[in-house]
Amino acid sequence: MTSAPSPALPLNLSQEVSLLTAALVDVDSVSGGETPLADAVEAALRAQTSLEVTRDGDAIVARSRLGHSDRVILAGHLDTVPLPATAGARGTVPSSWDGTPGEGVLWGRGTTDMKGGVAVQLALAARLFPSNAGTAHDGAGAPAAAATAGRDVTFVFYDHEEVEAAKSGLGRLALNRPDLLAGDFAILLEPTNGTVEGGCNGTLRVEATTVGEAAHSARAWMGKNAIHAAAPILARLAAYEPATVTVDGLDYRESLNAVGISGGTAGNVIPDRCVVTINYRFAPDKSLDEAEALVGALLDGFDVVRTDGAPGARPGLTHPAAAAFVAVVGREPLPKYGWTDVARFSELGVPAVNFGPGDALLAHKDDERVAAEDIRACLSALEVWLTA
Q: For 5-44, give the DSSP string.
A: PPP-PPP-TTS-HHHHHHHHHTS--BTT--HHHHHHHHHH
Which residues contact residue 238 at a Cβ distance below 8 angstroms, ignoring those fewer than 6 apart?
A: none
Angle subtended by helix axes 35-48 and 116-128, to nearest 10: 20
Q: What is the pLDDT along the chain (388 residues), one digit of tens a residue?
A: 344 455 567 999 999 999 999 999 999 999 999 999 999 999 999 999 999 999 999 999 999 999 999 999 999 999 999 999 999 999 999 999 998 999 999 999 999 999 999 999 999 999 999 997 444 445 555 544 456 889 999 999 999 999 988 899 999 999 999 999 999 999 999 999 999 999 999 999 999 999 999 999 999 999 999 999 999 999 999 999 999 999 999 999 999 999 999 999 999 999 999 999 999 999 999 999 999 999 999 999 999 999 999 899 999 898 888 999 999 999 999 999 988 999 999 999 999 999 999 999 999 999 999 999 999 999 999 999 999 8
Give the Cβ contact number of residue 241 at 10 Å.
Answer: 6
| pLDDT reported for residue 144 | 47
Which residues contact residue 241 at a Cβ distance below 8 angstroms, ignoring those fewer than 6 apart?
A: none
| pLDDT reported for residue 388 | 87
| pLDDT reported for residue 141 | 52
| pLDDT reported for residue 303 | 96
Phi, then psi, of 29 in degrees rounded to 5:
-140, 50
Catalytic residue numbers? 79, 161
Are 313 and 203 in contact, with CB atoms under 8 Å apart? no
Of 328, 61, 363, 47, the C-alpha closest to 196 is 328
Integer Cα distance of 172 and 178 in angstroms: 9
Any bridge partners for residue 261, and if so which? 276
| pLDDT reported for residue 136 | 45
Any bridge partners for residue 39, and if so which? none
| pLDDT reported for residue 290 | 98
Amino acid at 295: V
| pLDDT reported for residue 246 | 96
Give the Cβ contact number of residue 104 at 10 Å.
Answer: 15
Are 311 and 159 in contact, with CB atoms under 8 Å apart? no
